[in-house]
Amino acid sequence: MTQIQLSPAERRALKADAHHLNPVVLVGREGLTDSVTREIDKALATHGLIKVRVGGDDRHERSALFTTLADQLGAACVQQIGKLLVLWRPIPEPSADKASDADRKPGPKTVRILKHSSQGGQKPEIKTVKVLGNERITVGGIIKRAKPKLKSVKKAAQG
């Protein structure tokens, strides 16, 4: 892949966005291994704009590593400050194969249940409960699970 070229205005905006970021990947004394490259690729696909911290004291080696990373991953070299490298690559659009958010079912909900005591003078008890998708809360504050749909014997014999 080739490196992405940025205009000075784009580079300035990306530098400003990267200012508050922490390094996502650390390159150790082993240097640029396949696993480090894969992690940087995953981070770029997830975040788009990342910081990478490189160990070692050789400035020329860090500069060479910066351009090598950008060439291999099809990213843009945004900024190099000491041992920090800032890389940017546009986040790819999600594929149509994955289920969209509209197709997903809701996850567990955290619900607070207020139970009054049978004796009048006591404070009501508050319980925080996690309710799954197949559960419901009755008026009395009891959690009930949905029963599986049963097929009739007649329909099973026909089909």
* 29 lies in some domain: yes
pLDDT band at 97 (very low <50, low <70, confident <90, very high): low
pTM over 0.75: no
Looking at the fold, whether 73 and 113 belong to one and the same domain comes out as no
Handedness of CA 7, 11, 14, 16 (dihedral sign): negative
The tokens for 77 are: 């070299």
Cα(94)–Cα(134) distance, rounded to whole angstroms? 29
* 13 lies in some domain: yes
For the chain, what is the mean pLDDT?
A: 86
DSSP annotation of 26: E
Cα(108)–Cα(26) distance, rounded to whole angstroms? 35
Whole-number pLDDT of residue 53: 95
pLDDT band at 101 (very low <50, low <70, confident <90, very high): low
19 pLDDT above the threshold of 80: yes
User: How many residues can be counted in the chain?
Assistant: 159
Domain that holds residue 143: 109-158
Q: Which of 27-41, 42-56, 134-148 shows the lowest per-residue confidence on average (mean pLDDT)?
A: 134-148
